Structure 1
Amino acid sequence: MKLSIIGAGYVGLVTGASFAELGHDVTIMDIDDEKIRKLEKGIIPIHEPGLDRLIDKNSDRISFTTNMEQVVREADIHFICVWTPPLEDGSADLTAVRSVARELGKNFKKLKAKNQIVVTKSTVPVGTGKKIRALIRQTYKNEFSVVSNPEFLRESQAVADMMRPDRIIIGSNDNIAAQKVAEIYKDVKAPIIITDLATAEMIKYAANAFLATKISFINEVANVCDLVGADVEQVAEGIGSDKRIGKSFLKAGMGYGGSCFPKDVRALHQFSNDSGYDFKLLKSVIEVNEQQRNLIIDKLNKHLKIMNGKNILVLGLAFKAYTDDVRESVAIDVINRLQKEGANISAYDPLALINAQKHLGEDVIFVGKAYDGAQGADAIVIATEWPNFKDLDWPSIKDLMRKPLIIDGRNLLDPNEMRRMKFTYEGVGRG
């Protein structure tokens, strides 16, 4: 099948490369000239394990362009994969989605295109499919279909999630169009659930909100564990072993971040309010997530008393391990808060240093090794769960520090082992 991907970000590139791997001809379009030029040269602008190999392997089936007319000429099923960032009130900014819809409509009309299918991969509020139809209808009067096929990709595992998903959701009020989109996935071994358009849009938000709720729940449990001397890691193991609950997303720490959970939870809360329903649970999920960031600051203040002038090394800047993405990174937020209290910050991350520099001021010292930032440090904050942080030479780091204080915001290290080395160690909910 001939497909187009509009938006060459994380979702667009992974989706396009995966469709090519499934044997389809794929045109990937983006308005960013520089990004497209890099892609044409084989330079992948994001870090996603396995993506570069997949694009290289299927280069004969993938083309890149900035031209929407070319997109419409070369494909008849178009996947909208543009970024939908949050507005100040928490609702999704659909500016890019609306722009794509208008451009598709103009080019459908110009080229007298027939049997076109427009598919939303981007996470969009319920009702967006209808809005896309109305925008295209302003210029293109022939029949076309709108389908929702939401992505469920985890950064650092996105290729595997695309090729081996738990399920595939396809929503449309046009069953023939839904079946055509389902045909794209005929070689993927996963259940396909076909719904109406609004239901598919809701499934995506509900899924992310539920996972965020699990994270906030275990963080609340962790905070009680700190007060009563229980270990949240063992609590999570105990409750997660129940198949009705499951172990995933029961990791206490500094809260969730990234490009999806924060914006999607806020967006679901906002459009629930706009629809006339006060989603009290999501309000609490958001509040708890914010509270966890303050918790790290509170733990530092408890030991250091005065933050002004203290030297803090932050280990980890990406919002999660195995990615260079710092969007909505908890680490970035905590650094900004520490700086407001007068702390001197040095920071290290195996992949995200360059991206983090775009978000942090010049006052942050970015180091190439954790040991460089430990020199004279009053505390170390572990903000991203990079496994290689476990393997650092911690006795040597202790000798470099002014005060051997570790605030482990990801419960990465063994508390007993760190205390045996004479560190003052605090995790989240470790008793």
Structure 2
Amino acid sequence: MHIAMIGAGYVGLVSGACFADFGHVVTCVDTDPDKVDRLNRGEIPIFEPGLEDHVVRNRDEERLFFTTELPEAVAKADVVFIAVGTPSRRGDGRADLSYVYAAAAEVARNISGYTVVVTKSTVPVGTGDAVERIMRDEVPGVDVSVVSNPEFLREGAAIEDFKRPDRIVIGVEDERAQEIMGEVYRPLFVNQAPVIYTGRRTAELIKYASNAFLATKITFINEMADLCEKAGANVQEVARGIGLDNRIGTKFLHAGPGFGGSCFPKDTRALVETAREFETPSRIVEAVVTVNEARKAAMAQKVLRACGGSVAGKTVALLGLTFKPNTDDMRESPSIAIANALRAAGATVRGHDPQGMEQARRVMPDIEYADTAYACVEDADAVVLVTEWEAYRALDLPRIKELVRVPVFVDLRNVYRRAEVERHGFTYVDVGRG
């Protein structure tokens, strides 16, 4: 089957490479010629474990192509996926759908014969209706079915998530499109991946509801961590105690500095605005958004308290800058809010990250950067572990003790045990462990 993937960003590139690995012929279209040139040379613009191998192998076997020319790719395609960005709109938090709508109009002008057009981008409920309307207005009588097929990819584990998904959600309005989408995903039937066929609007809402629920779990355990600190309890044991209840589950119950990334912040805000638009306010999700933003600022205050109430004239070393391990994604990372607050309080902030340094320099040009974790902590008045990369899970604490100016270790991910760190002469601060 011939597939055109409009957008070679995170979702488009991972999806396109995996569909090609299934045996489909996939052409990824992107408006950035530099990105397309790099991909055609086998250079991957994002860090995602396993992605480079998938891209290079399928490109070499002529199942995966990259181009800036949309008309030819769409004309050959049986299925066209729209996987362009839907960032939060400035001012109101709604999803910016301008890229989706522009892609829909251009796709309509270049369709040749019956085509299934799939919104892979995360979009508010009702977007598929608008996409179909735009396409039919652009080319009256166009032979097209519009489908919603949201993605559920975790950055850092996207290849595994695509090939062994918890579920595949397909929002479809006619049998012909359903049959074709079944063929697209047929290779996954061997893995017995559950396929859920729903109406288009239902599929759109499933994506937002899923992310909002997971964001709620993170925010809930972070609030429990604050309570644990005050009450002398241990949030990790609380999380284990409630997570073993199979109605709750253990995932997303790890206390930390708040959620970031490309999905949860954007999608929770968009869901709040969608609910308001339909005059059914979602008070729980509104609270999640508010509490999460406050959480990031509160982590900077934790560092200030660990430093005796002031960081003016002091150097703070941040270990981990990306919003989570195994990605170079800096979007809405807690490290940004923490670094900005510390700098505003008079600190010199120095950072290190195993994969995110290039991206971090773009969003935080005013902090210092070090090539290694140990260079980062040299002469620091506090070491703050922000992102739980594996490279930071077994740090040489005696060596760090010799390098720092003041032995203060703030562990925002509860990677270490208090006794272990204090044994080496550090003042140790964690999250929610009494």
Normalised to the residue count of structure 2, the TM-score between the two structures is 0.96
Answer whether contact 1:2 1:76 (CA < 8 A) is retained: yes
- CA RMSD, Structure 1 to Structure 2 (Å): 1.1
Paired residue for 1:81?
83
Paired residue for 1:269?
272
Q: Which amino acid aligns with 1:64?
A: F
2:417 pairs with 1:418: no
- Give the paired residue count: 426
Q: Following the alignment from structure 1 to structure 2, what is the Cα–Cα distance between the partners of residues 47 and 236? A: 30
Answer whether contact 1:170 1:182 (CA < 8 A) is retained: no
Paired residue for 1:144?
144
Q: Secondary structure, in 3 states, of the residue corresponding to 1:133?
A: helix
Q: Following the alignment from structure 2 to structure 1, what is the Cα–Cα distance between the partners of residues 267 and 202? A: 16
Answer whether contact 1:105 1:138 (CA < 8 A) is retained: no
Q: Following the alignment from structure 2 to structure 1, what is the Cα–Cα distance between the partners of residues 409 and 395? A: 13
Report the Cα offset of residue 57 of structure 1.
2.0
Q: Following the alignment from structure 1 to structure 2, what is the Cα–Cα distance between the partners of residues 165 and 20? A: 17
Residue of 353, 357, 361 corresponding to 2:357: 353
Q: Following the alignment from structure 1 to structure 2, what is the Cα–Cα distance between the partners of residues 306 and 409? A: 19
2:131 pairs with 1:132: yes
Residue of 109, 112, 135 corresponding to 1:106: 109
Report the Cα offset of residue 406 of structure 1.
1.4
Q: Which amino acid aligns with 2:360?
A: A
Paired residue for 1:50?
50
Paired residue for 2:381?
378
Q: Following the alignment from structure 1 to structure 2, what is the Cα–Cα distance between the partners of residues 303 and 155? A: 32
Question: What does the per-residue CA deviation read over 1:75-126, in whole Å, with 9 as the maximum and x for residues that have no partner?
Answer: 1210011111101211101111011011112223xxxx22111101110000
Residue of 230, 243, 255 corresponding to 1:252: 255
Q: Following the alignment from structure 1 to structure 2, what is the Cα–Cα distance between the partners of residues 398 and 292? A: 29
Paired residue for 2:15?
15
Structure 2 unaligned segments of length 5 or more: list them.
none
Q: Following the alignment from structure 1 to structure 2, what is the Cα–Cα distance between the partners of residues 378 and 178? A: 60
Structure 1 unaligned segments of length 5 or more: list them.
none
Question: What does the per-residue CA deviation read over 1:223-252, in whole Å, with 9 as the maximum and x for residues that have no partner?
Answer: 000001111111111111111111110000
Q: Secondary structure, in 3 states, of the residue corresponding to 1:15?
A: helix
Q: Following the alignment from structure 2 to structure 1, what is the Cα–Cα distance between the partners of residues 235 and 87? A: 33
- Matched-pair identity in %: 46
Residue of 213, 218, 225 corresponding to 1:222: 225
Question: What does the per-residue CA deviation read over 1:172-196, in whole Å, with 9 as the maximum and x for residues that have no partner?
Answer: 2123202211221112020100000
Answer whether contact 2:354 2:391 (CA < 8 A) is retained: no
2:13 pairs with 1:4: no
Q: Following the alignment from structure 2 to structure 1, what is the Cα–Cα distance between the partners of residues 134 and 158? A: 31
Report the Cα offset of residue 63 of structure 1.
1.1
Matches within 5 A, 1:138-287: 138-142=137-141, 143-188=143-188, 189=191, 190-287=193-290
Q: Secondary structure, in 3 states, of the residue corresponding to 1:325?
A: coil
Q: Which amino acid aligns with 1:151?
A: E
Q: Following the alignment from structure 1 to structure 2, what is the Cα–Cα distance between the partners of residues 348 and 413? A: 19
Answer whether contact 2:260 2:323 (CA < 8 A) is retained: yes
Q: Following the alignment from structure 1 to structure 2, what is the Cα–Cα distance between the partners of residues 17 and 335? A: 36
Q: Following the alignment from structure 2 to structure 1, what is the Cα–Cα distance between the partners of residues 288 and 140? A: 44
Paired residue for 2:328?
324
Paired residue for 2:100?
97
Report the Cα offset of residue 368 of structure 1.
0.7
Question: What does the per-residue CA deviation read over 1:268-306, in whole Å, with 9 as the maximum and x for residues that have no partner?
Answer: 011101110111101111122112212212212223222
Q: Which amino acid aligns with 1:424?
A: T
Q: Secondary structure, in 3 states, of the residue corresponding to 2:187?
A: coil
Answer whether contact 2:324 2:388 (CA < 8 A) is retained: yes
Q: Following the alignment from structure 1 to structure 2, what is the Cα–Cα distance between the partners of residues 227 and 132? A: 51
Report the Cα offset of residue 217 of structure 1.
0.6
Question: What does the per-residue CA deviation read over 1:358-382, in whole Å, with 9 as the maximum and x for residues that have no partner?
Answer: 1112x31100111112122111111
Report the Cα offset of residue 307 of structure 1.
2.2
Q: Which amino acid aligns with 2:71?
A: E
Answer whether contact 2:328 2:355 (CA < 8 A) is retained: yes
Q: Following the alignment from structure 1 to structure 2, what is the Cα–Cα distance between the partners of residues 105 and 4? A: 13
2:31 pairs with 1:27: no
> Structure 1 stretch 192-201 or stretch 233-242: which is displaced more?
233-242
2:314 pairs with 1:315: no
Q: Following the alignment from structure 1 to structure 2, what is the Cα–Cα distance between the partners of residues 27 and 310? A: 52
Paired residue for 2:64?
62
